[in-house]
Amino acid sequence: MLYTSSVMEDSVKFYNRPCAAPGLISYRYPSAHYKGSFIMIGAHGHKDALKEAARSVVGVDPARLEIWDKQSGRYVPVDYGE
């Protein structure tokens, strides 16, 4: 079931929380199929996360990948250190 903001508050939606298994980093990538939804990814690093996103999306754009930031308690764009 796809939840919309009218059904659940933004802060409790699963895609606004870290979802990775212990030992992995939580990432998300915007879904190409449903506007406002995300592919949730647990990965060891940025490169691994992009590889996982490419399994679900054709033409992955690294600039669209987001990582869970523990300090702010939200997902933020990945900083590739450029």
How buried is 20 (Cβ within 10 angstroms: 0-12 exposed, 13-18 middle, 19+ buried)?
A: middle
pLDDT of residue 54: 96
pTM of the complete model: 0.80
Domain ranges of the chain: 24-69
Predicted confidence pLDDT, tens digits, the chain (82 residues):
444 445 555 556 767 888 888 999 999 999 877 778 899 999 999 999 999 999 998 999 999 999 999 999 999 999 998 6
pLDDT of residue 2: 46
Rounded CA gap, 69 and 82, in Å? 19
pLDDT of residue 7: 52
